[in-house]
């Protein structure tokens, strides 16, 4: 069997959820969209279900996968519904929906439902992606409140730059939110992971942690609270071949790495088709049998190469960690043209093995 795999530590996931919930000071929806950022939505949701207040996914398709697997806690659709015909299905499966656009408000007005549907009304407080304009927000809230088949429950918004801890924009978005929602009642939800960790003023009734649940810091720099997270995924494989090369020899596609001295190269069964970043540079950290090592040469589809010169004990069968407990995902990202979010979401083909 190919030795490439992703170990998923569900106890670490629960630890991170508890930290998120404690920081938020209220309730927390565990964001498990995009197959739980590559960690497997069903297994992650099942592991969190006994203690989670609920879950958030992007769309009804993702929610139904969880319902079919027996997840019973509330599930919020972060992009809401895409057409009015989905609305009865939302009720049937007990889903909550974000409403972020005027056409969705009109659809609700024109679609009577047998029971109230729970709605989170999203404000565009400055990110300018989705959300109701600040000037129209209070009016829209009241229009929804007037509908017997809608229970408009939570005022929400989303930050564009909460991961930049010295950026004034986040405070501006908060001020816009306070002004646009003043006097409306209902509950509040603003925080994603970087806001929960870095912007205490944004904490409110409901948090929406995603990335931090998986134990990865949303910040490029060191951060005391983010340091308390436990990595959930360990991506690992093994050395499957070794080359002893003299100085001046190229390694791999495009000869991006050329040996400067006699060099031992280890070939690892892991490539960009498994989700390892194709554009990781020479020197990107790995761990070889638990010791720091580095990538040498361009990543191929199914294999990559590491420098074993300083690892005389290592050989065929040695364990190589690509990221996880020994190699923070953020360090791999710092050497690749990607983000921590995309790094995790990109994992595929490798089997996910669960512990805890
Ligand atoms: C994805 C998402 C989140 C979670 O964001 P993280 O940065 O991963 O914590 C929260 N809210 C909304 C609206 C989202 O789309």
CA of residue 196 to ligand 1 center, whole Å? 11
- Read off φ and ψ for residue 209, nearest 5 degrees: -75, 135
Would you call 276 helix, strand, or coil by DSSP?
Answer: coil
Cβ contact 111:84 at 8 Å: yes
Cβ contact 55:75 at 8 Å: yes
pLDDT of residue 155: 98
Give the residue numbers annotated as catalytic, written as ranges: 33, 253
pLDDT of residue 202: 96
Both structure tokens of 247 = 């100085």
- Read off φ and ψ for residue 193, nearest 5 degrees: -60, -55
Would you call 214 helix, strand, or coil by DSSP?
Answer: helix
pLDDT of residue 8: 98
Both structure tokens of 243 = 């080359």
Strands 291-294 and 285-288: antiparallel
Burial of 294 by CB count in 10 Å (0-12 exposed, 13-18 middle, 19+ buried)?
middle
CA distance 233 to 12: 9
- pLDDT band for position 181 (cuts 50, 70, 90): very high
pLDDT in tens, 215-244: 999 999 999 999 999 999 999 999 999 999
CA distances to 251, 260, 302 from 255, rounded to whole Å, are: 5, 13, 17
Q: Which of 208, 209, 219, 341 to mutate to test the pocket of ligand 1 (most atoms within 8 A of CB)?
A: 208
H or E segment to which residue 132 belongs: none
- pLDDT band for position 351 (cuts 50, 70, 90): very high
CA distance 128 to 140: 18
CA of residue 211 to ligand 1 center, whole Å? 8
CA distance 202 to 281: 37
CA distance 328 to 245: 30
pTM: 0.97
Atom 15 of ligand 1, nearest CA residue:
78
Cβ contact 36:52 at 8 Å: no
- pLDDT band for position 169 (cuts 50, 70, 90): very high
Compute the average pLDDT of residues 28-46: 98
Atom 3 of ligand 1, nearest CA residue:
192
Q: What pairs with residue 236 in β-bridges?
A: 5, 321
Q: What pairs with residue 28 in β-bridges?
A: 207
pLDDT of residue 164: 96
CA of residue 210 to ligand 1 center, whole Å? 6
Atom of ligand 1 nearest to the CA of 37: 8
Average pLDDT, the chain: 97
pLDDT of residue 241: 98
pLDDT in tens, 51-84: 999 999 999 999 999 999 999 999 999 999 999 9
- pLDDT band for position 162 (cuts 50, 70, 90): very high
Nearest to 273 by CA among 300, 235, 234, 298: 300
211 close to ligand 1 (CB < 6 Angstrom): yes
- pLDDT band for position 97 (cuts 50, 70, 90): very high
Domains of the chain: 10-217 (3.20.20.10), 233-355 (2.40.37.10)
pLDDT in tens, 126-160: 999 999 999 999 999 999 999 999 999 999 999 99
Q: Cβ neighbours of residue 175 under 8 Å, at least 6 residues apart?
A: none
Q: Cβ neighbours of residue 222 under 8 Å, at least 6 residues apart?
A: none
Q: What percent of the chain has pLDDT over 90?
A: 100
Nearest to 208 by CA among 220, 219, 221, 197: 197
pLDDT in tens, 255-277: 999 999 999 999 999 999 999 99
Which letter does DSSP use for residue 206 in this model? Answer: E
pLDDT of residue 37: 98
CA distance 327 to 336: 14
pLDDT of residue 175: 98
122 close to ligand 1 (CB < 6 Angstrom): no
- pLDDT band for position 109 (cuts 50, 70, 90): very high
Position of tokens 């049998």?
Answer: 289
CA torsion through residues 55, 56, 58, 63, sign: positive
């Amino acid at each position: 069997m190919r030795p490439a795999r992703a170990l998923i530590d569900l106890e670490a996931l629960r630890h991170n959820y508890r930290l998120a919930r404690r920081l938020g000071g209220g309730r927390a929806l565990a964001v498990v969209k995009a197959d739980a950022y590559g960690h497997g939505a069903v297994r992650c949701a099942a592991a969190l279900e006994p203690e989670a207040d609920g879950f958030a996914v992007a769309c009804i398709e993702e929610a139904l996968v969880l319902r079919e697997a027996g997840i019973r806690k509330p599930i919020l659709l972060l992009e809401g519904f895409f057409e009015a015909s989905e609305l009865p299905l939302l009720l049937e499966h007990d889903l909550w929906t974000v409403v972020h656009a005027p056409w969705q408000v009109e659809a609700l007005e024109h679609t009577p439902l047998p029971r109230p549907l729970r709605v989170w009304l999203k404000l565009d407080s400055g990110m300018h992606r989705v959300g109701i304009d600040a000037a129209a927000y209070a009016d829209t809230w009241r229009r929804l409140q007037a509908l017997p088949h809608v229970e408009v429950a939570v005022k929400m918004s989303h930050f564009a730059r909460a991961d930049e801890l010295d950026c004034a924009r986040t405070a501006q978005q908060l001020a816009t939110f306070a002004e646009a929602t003043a006097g409306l009642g209902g509950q509040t939800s603003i925080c994603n992971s970087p806001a929960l960790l870095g912007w205490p003023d944004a904490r409110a009734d409901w948090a929406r942690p995603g990335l931090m649940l998986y134990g990865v810091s949303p910040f490029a720099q060191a951060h005391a609270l983010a340091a308390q997270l436990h990595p959930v995924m360990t991506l690992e494989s093994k050395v499957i071949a070794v080359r002893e090369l003299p100085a001046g020899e190229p390694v791999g596609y495009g000869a991006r790495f050329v040996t400067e001295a006699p060099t031992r190269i280890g070939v690892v069964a892991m490539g960009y088709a498994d989700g390892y970043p194709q554009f990781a540079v020479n020197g990107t950290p790995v761990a070889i049998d638990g010791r720091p090592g580095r990538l040498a040469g361009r990543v191929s589809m199914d294999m990559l190469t590491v420098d074993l010169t300083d690892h005389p004990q290592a050989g065929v069968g040695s364990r190589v960690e690509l990221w996880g407990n020994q190699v923070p995902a953020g360090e791999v990202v710092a050497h690749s043209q990607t983000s921590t979010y995309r790094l995790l979401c990109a994992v595929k083909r490798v089997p996910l093995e669960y512990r805890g």
